[in-house]
Amino acid sequence: MYIHARAAVIAAILAIAPGAIAAAPAVIPVDARQIEALGIETVPLSGAGQGSQRSLPAQVVIPNAQIRVIAAPLSGLVQTMAVAPNDTVRQGQVLARLQSPMLVEAQREFLQAAAEARLAQDSLKRDEQLFKEGIIAEGRYQATRARHAQAAAALSQQRQSLRLYGMTDAAINALQSGRGMNSTLDIVAPISAVVLEQMAAVGQRAEASTPLYRIAQVQPLWLEMRATPAAAAGIAPGAAVSVDGARGKVLSLGRHLDPATQTVMIRAEIGQGAEKLRAGQYVEALVEAAAGEARQWQVPAPALARHQGKTYVFVATRGGFVASEVRVLGEAASSATVTGALRGDERIAVKGIAALKAIWTGGSE
């Protein structure tokens, strides 16, 4: 019944004032009784005094430099997984423990290289003294020096391999002094961070480079915003950004237009209040454009009416409404940022848009 009544009201208005309908931007004649019958509601135009602020859809992401993937440095059996997702870990804290025969082999090669380096050092001292006394030729002395250099390089290489496997210098020195070999390797956090993901399980056979954990520092965070070229105009690196009480600044504007969405990516860094956001979260961000840009307004998304490739809002006036053309600078799920010939003190329709459009266009698209 209500739908039929609305249709009857629209038909009556079309019959009464066909000339007014065709003559845009003339007033769309709708009186108070018809406004109620058509379910039309209005709100004040918001955003006055905030002409430089734009609302853009964004996703919260963790900066690449703050993410670490912790992997097994060599093959072995996962003996312990000491932390779990959401745990906060400090730099140097043990994350996992591996038992690996390959670690024993690497330690054996290091001890062998250390022994050869000691022998080469002793030979160099002896031949150096003999050369000074004129007992041996210079060629033999130079050959001894070369062998010593090679042995020292081999020992350095083996020491670096143990470091890469996760052994500390103290543990390597203890091994070299005769403490004995160990098949168990502790894998520690390289930074203080939050555990995002556990990628292995206790008892699993892990090959070299098998991921065990993904950890990250979660402050600051990035916002990756998508904007049309029109919405991006006037936004520059350093522009202020705010979202859900968190604040930051624009870092960069993309030079590449996404062929699927015809948008560019704007990246911002959020420092103050970053703890209020979550990586992967979708939000609406407010970005400050450069001074001197055309005044902009925040309007509810349902207030927009599109007709023949253009966008309009219906502005309440004496005797009805006027369709005022606007340009959309940014659009999110519930609101849009527009610019146009608006003063700022108007009221715009947010409900009954379809009925107003039907009256305004005479039912044509």
Note the pLDDT tens digit of each residue in 287-327.
887 655 567 788 888 999 998 889 999 999 988 999 999 98
Residue 262: which pLDDT band, with cuts at 50, 70 and 90?
confident
| For residue 343, pLDDT beyond 80 | yes
Which of these ranges, 49-58, 116-125, 237-246, has the smallest mean pLDDT?
Answer: 49-58
Q: Which residues pair with 50 in a beta bridge?
A: none
Question: What percent of the chain lies above the pLDDT cut of 90?
Answer: 52
Choose between 50 and 110: higher pLDDT: 110
Alpha-carbon gap, residue 356 to 365, rounded angstroms = 13
Nearest to 282 by CA among 334, 352, 339, 346: 334
Alpha-carbon gap, residue 335 to 284, rounded angstroms = 9
Alpha helices in 133-276 (DSSP H): 138-164, 169-176, 229-232
| For residue 48, pLDDT beyond 90 | no
Q: Which residues contact 45 (CB under 8 A, 6 or more apart)?
A: 297, 299, 342, 344, 345, 346, 347, 348
What are the structure tokens assigned to 182, written together? 């160990």
CA torsion through residues 250, 251, 255, 256, sign = negative
Q: Which residues contact 354 (CB under 8 A, 6 or more apart)?
A: none
| For residue 47, pLDDT beyond 80 | no
User: Domains in the chain and their CATH numbers?
Assistant: 2-51+294-361 (2.40.420.20), 57-62+219-288 (2.40.30.170), 66-216 (2.40.50.100)
Which helix or strand (DSSP H or E) is residue 77 part of?
strand 76-81
| For residue 328, pLDDT beyond 90 | no
Choose between 290 and 125: higher pLDDT: 125
Alpha-carbon gap, residue 347 to 313, rounded angstroms = 10
Work out the burial of residue 256: count CB atoms within 10 Å of its CB; fewer than 13 is exposed, 13-18 middle, 19 or more buried.
Answer: exposed
Which of these ranges, 5-19, 153-167, 175-189, has the smallest mean pLDDT?
Answer: 5-19
What mean pLDDT comes out for the span 342-362? 88
Which of these ranges, 48-57, 133-142, 187-196, 198-207, has the smallest mean pLDDT?
Answer: 48-57
Average pLDDT, the chain: 86
Angle between helices 2-16 and 353-361 (to 10 degrees): 30
From its phi and psi, is residue 10 left (phi > 0), alpha (psi between -120 and 50) or beta? alpha
Alpha helices in the chain (DSSP H): 2-16, 18-22, 32-38, 101-132, 138-164, 169-176, 229-232, 353-361
What mean pLDDT comes out for the span 57-64? 95
3 state SS of 313: strand
Structure letter (DSSP) for residue 352: S
Are the beta carbons of 226 and 265 closer than 8 angstroms? Answer: yes
pLDDT at 21: 41
| For residue 87, pLDDT beyond 70 | yes
Predicted TM-score (pTM) of the model is 0.63
pLDDT at 333: 72
Residue 170: which pLDDT band, with cuts at 50, 70 and 90?
confident
Alpha-carbon gap, residue 199 to 210, rounded angstroms = 9
pLDDT at 23: 40
What mean pLDDT comes out for the span 16-40? 70
Give pLDDT tens digits for 199-255: 999 999 999 999 999 999 999 999 999 988 877 877 889 999 999 889 999 999 998
| For residue 66, pLDDT beyond 90 | yes
